[in-house]
Amino acid sequence: MKTLFLLLAISPLVRIPIAAQQPSSPPPSDDPFVWLEDVEGSRSMEWVNAKNAVTIAALTRSPLYQTFYDRIKQILDSKDKIAYPQIIGNSLYNFWQDAEHERGIWRRTSWASYATANPAWETVIDVDSLSKAEGVTWSWSGADCFEPEYKRCIVSLSRGGSDATETREFDLTTKRFVSDGFKIPEAKTNTAWVDDSTLFVGTDFGPGSMTTSGYPRIVKLWKRGHPLASATTVFEAPADHVGAFGFSVDAGDRRYLRISDAINFYESGQYLYDKGRVTKIDVLKDADLYVLRDQMIVYVRDPWTVGGKTWPTGSLVATSIDDFMAGKRDLQLVMQPGPRETINGVSTTHDYLVLNVLNNVRGELRRYRHQGGGWTFEKVPAPDLGTVGVVDRSPRSNRYFFSFTNFIQPTTLYVTAENGVVSEMKRLPAMFDASALVVEQEEATSQDGTKIPFFIVHRGTMKRDGSNPTLLTAYGGFEIANTPSYNSAVGAAWLERGGVFVLANIRGGGEFGPQWHRAGLKEHRQRIYDDFTAVAQQLIKDSVTSPQHLGIRGGSNGGLLMGVALTEHPELYNAVVIQNPLLDMKRYSHLLAGASWMAEYGDPDKPEEWAYISRYSPYQNLRPGTKYPTVLFATTTRDDRVHPAHARKMAAKMESMGIPFYYFENTEGGHGAGVTNAQRAKEFALTYVYLWQQLR
């Protein structure tokens, strides 16, 4: 489970968007590169442009660059890609990008048409045309449509891919923005439909309306036809909490209005809102909540003693919402995962809970129904040895889409009918030649004796002589499970050319439930880095590769992982790709959304917590006179989630020490590799040229 904060009917870990903000404390006087925190300052951008020019000149000289760029751009633009559907009313919607639609189109079709080989799509919003007409490089950030009428939507658009969005009301019938409708200027905004004329809204209302993490702390009711300034406050969170957010949950037969007071990244106070009254939901602060018709579903992280019974970590329990709010505590077990299992996702249809279960990091779907006073389930027919996940569902029917993917089998989209019959809907054609490839699951032993599974993808004829160019990746944080997937760029630019790909399931992730994640929190974070090191050492021990031919790659929290691997064990690697990373862990909590992650890493302003953070923080642990592999940094100017200064400052410090590196910063892309396919293909091509130069 990996998305926002404890929603009632959708996955609870969607991360809230964040926009650029000023540092929350004065910059340190002893940091010679703090000026690079000025995101778009002239001095900063001169430095960025100079480093970009050097990197682009060096890596595009390789004949591989244009080969990779053309191939990856062709894959990204392919009209044979699966158009993943979003169920809105009686239509299926899809956001699509290709060579003719660089910024994309939001389009729709009927169920019957979607089932054909060439659906008839109707364009609803053309983001390229909108960008041209308004002179803004818009990026699509999604739409929230009011049910069950599905006539009006709140559409979010961001500049250059940033998390901050401009919010506008849109009419699905006329396919036009509503001239006198809801509209909120660019900000860190959260909205939810209360009724067809009222919104929950959290945004930057002015001084004092935002938390130290940069999120809205006030939820207001905003009536149609009235200025935003007249919206009335229904809830306020303390300024040192992460934020307060309103949600609207369509449970099919009933609408539930939710408010979540996010105390930190993993703990929230949960409330129901009804006719002006806010009532607390008495569950543990780290529980996830869902709704299936009249049932409240609770995912238990800490053991929960309630009604005379203790529910263990990882269990899923349920009860009547009305009964629970009335004080009754008669809960029933829905599922208790086994020792190598975890619930990796929860979705709801009209009558069913659909659970995405990981069994030793291999996915399956189970469908549960509440009937006859208890819960029954059946396994949903799906392929084995890969990743399955619900693509979209509606609380107003039992039809839903799910996908299956693994490293070498092209992704397949399935649809489940009202009667539960599963049929294949779409299949991605092969985007690279996987005929000679095999997938194995192996284990390494970490420093404390914990067994760490990892997947290895390679040619069946691979010789274990230590000479194989090998790319190792992992994430290791925020209870996010890293599972097998069909990655066309990795396949075309790496595997097809004889490279070995390794995915490590280290602690900090969600592969084995909450305890696997918590084993690497705060003062225990070194376990995560030891796990990653153990996998690298196992690959070398087994002669899959050697330090000369071993490269690593990771982004965001995974970029921090790469930075630690670089500074703790530079002798193990010859290539390190660090993307959109956290690296200065002394300053991270004062940059953009950093304060919201202190429940994961700790608070560096507390001496007792900086004591353990300081031992691994890459920026502080870079040492002169040490032989480091040549690193490739990649970030974006418009990343308003993880500050680009992390990568900038690390590179600048390396430069001051005479340590060589490559640096590439895209001016668009937000917390990713670009907005357009051309931008994404450029970064991918630069990355794989670098990897082959370093590791062949």
- Cα-Cα-Cα-Cα dihedral of 683, 534, 610, 4, to 10°? 60
Contact between residue 690 and residue 662 where contact means Cβ atoms under 8 Å apart: yes
pLDDT of residue 26: 60
Judged on CB neighbours under 10 Å (0-12, 13-18, 19+), 558 is buried
Give the tokens for residue 19: 């926009």
- Clarify whether residues 370 and 419 are in a common domain: yes
pLDDT above 70 (res 372): yes
- Clarify whether residues 313 and 420 are in a common domain: no
- Clarify whether residues 332 and 392 are in a common domain: no
Instruction: Give me the phi and psi of 685, to 5 degrees please.
Output: -65, -45
The answer to the question of residue 456 being in a domain is: no
Distance between CA atoms of residues 378 and 381, nearest Å: 9
- Over residues 35-67, the pLDDT tens digits come to 999 999 999 999 999 999 999 999 999 999 999
Instruction: Give me the phi and psi of 593, to 5 degrees please.
Output: -85, 10
Q: Which of these three, 236, 251, 282, is where a domain ends?
A: 236
The answer to the question of residue 285 being in a domain is: no
85-99, 361-375, 579-593, 667-681, range with the lowest pLDDT: 667-681
DSSP line for 44-73: HHHHHHHHHHHHHHHHHTSHHHHHHHHHHH
Q: Which of these three, 236, 270, 302, is where a domain ends?
A: 236
Task: Kindly list the distances between the CA atom of residue 249 and the CA atoms of 246, 280, 350, 494, 520, in Å, as whole numbers in the listed order.
Answer: 10, 16, 13, 43, 33
Distance between CA atoms of residues 500 and 583, nearest Å: 27
pLDDT of residue 10: 26
DSSP line for 406-469: -SSSPPEEEEE-TTS-EEEEEEPPPSS--TTEEEEEEEEE-TTS-EEEEEEEEETT---SS---
Helix (H) or strand (E) holding 190: strand 190-195
Contact between residue 508 and residue 528 where contact means Cβ atoms under 8 Å apart: yes
Pure H helices in 61-154: 63-77, 111-114, 127-134
pLDDT of residue 210: 95
End-to-end CA separation in angstroms for the chain: 37
Q: Which of these three, 336, 360, 394, is where a domain ends?
A: 336
**Binning pLDDT at 50, 70 and 90, where does residue 25 land?**
low
The answer to the question of residue 62 being in a domain is: yes
Task: Kindly list the distances between the CA atom of residue 414 and the CA atoms of 104, 166, 405, in Å, as whole numbers in the listed order.
Answer: 24, 34, 11
Contact between residue 260 and residue 6 where contact means Cβ atoms under 8 Å apart: yes
In the block, residue with structure tokens 């399935």: 414
The answer to the question of residue 212 being in a domain is: yes
pLDDT of residue 162: 86
The answer to the question of residue 18 being in a domain is: no
Instruction: Give me the phi and psi of 577, to 5 degrees please.
Output: -105, 120
DSSP state of 16: P
Closest Cα partner for 664 from 633, 690, 639, 638? 633
Rg (alpha carbons) of the chain, rounded to whole number: 25
Strand order in 190-195's β-sheet? 190-195, 198-202, 218-223, 232-236
Closest Cα partner for 666 from 635, 693, 689? 635
Contact between residue 222 and residue 231 where contact means Cβ atoms under 8 Å apart: yes
- Clarify whether residues 539 and 674 are in a common domain: yes
Closest Cα partner for 194 from 253, 269, 250, 271? 250
Residues annotated as part of the active site: 556, 671
Contact between residue 506 and residue 476 where contact means Cβ atoms under 8 Å apart: yes
Q: State the CATH number of the domain containing residue 152.
A: 2.130.10.120
Distance between CA atoms of residues 368 and 348, nearest Å: 10
pLDDT of residue 13: 25
pLDDT of residue 385: 84
For 300, residues 6+ apart whose C-beta sits below 8 A from its C-beta are 284, 287, 311, 312, 313, 314, 315, 316, 317
pLDDT of residue 5: 28
Contact between residue 428 and residue 411 where contact means Cβ atoms under 8 Å apart: yes
Residue type, 403: S
Distance between CA atoms of residues 471 and 456, nearest Å: 10
- Over residues 141-173, the pLDDT tens digits come to 999 999 999 999 999 999 988 889 999 999 999
The answer to the question of residue 268 being in a domain is: no
- Clarify whether residues 628 and 524 are in a common domain: yes
pLDDT above 60 (res 127): yes
DSSP state of 270: E
- Over residues 434-485, the pLDDT tens digits come to 999 999 999 999 999 999 999 999 999 999 999 999 999 999 999 999 999 9
DSSP state of 496: G
- Cα-Cα-Cα-Cα dihedral of 577, 581, 584, 586, to 10°? -140
Task: Kindly list the distances between the CA atom of residue 380 and the CA atoms of 262, 339, 357, 390, 391, in Å, as whole numbers in the listed order.
Answer: 34, 21, 11, 11, 14
- Clarify whether residues 86 and 181 are in a common domain: yes
pLDDT of residue 354: 98
- Clarify whether residues 329 and 367 are in a common domain: no
pLDDT above 70 (res 7): no
pLDDT of residue 672: 87
Distance between CA atoms of residues 94 and 83, nearest Å: 6
The answer to the question of residue 461 being in a domain is: no
- Clarify whether residues 63 and 117 are in a common domain: no
For 42, residues 6+ apart whose C-beta sits below 8 A from its C-beta are none
Distance between CA atoms of residues 659 and 627, nearest Å: 8
pLDDT of residue 18: 32
- Clarify whether residues 601 and 682 are in a common domain: yes
Percent helix, strand and coil across the chain, each rounded to 5?
A: 25, 35, 45
- Over residues 270-279, the pLDDT tens digits come to 999 998 999 9
Distance between CA atoms of residues 508 and 525, nearest Å: 8
pLDDT above 90 (res 136): yes
Total Cβ atoms within 10 A of residue 228: 15
- Clarify whether residues 477 and 581 are in a common domain: yes
Q: Spell out the SS3 assignment of 309-343.
A: EEECCCCEEEEEHHHHHCCCCCCEEEECCCCCEEE
Pure H helices in 604-644: 607-613, 618-621
Contact between residue 15 and residue 243 where contact means Cβ atoms under 8 Å apart: no
- Over residues 180-215, the pLDDT tens digits come to 999 999 999 999 999 999 999 999 999 999 999 999
Report the pLDDT averaged over residues 324-342.
Answer: 96
Q: 680 or 253, which is more confident? A: 680
Range of the domain at 159: 81-236
Predicted structure pTM score = 0.93
What count of Cα atoms within 13 Å lies in the side-chain half-sphere of residue 454?
30
The answer to the question of residue 179 being in a domain is: yes
- Clarify whether residues 228 and 315 are in a common domain: no
Instruction: Give me the phi and psi of 649, to 5 degrees please.
Output: -65, -40
pLDDT of residue 3: 33
Quote the percentage of the chain above a pLDDT of 70: 96
Number of domains in the chain: 4
Q: State the CATH number of the domain containing residue 529.
A: 3.40.50.1820
Q: Is the peptide bond before 624 cis (omega within 30 degrees of 0)?
A: no
- Clarify whether residues 225 and 85 are in a common domain: yes
Contact between residue 669 and residue 636 where contact means Cβ atoms under 8 Å apart: yes
Residue type, 522: K
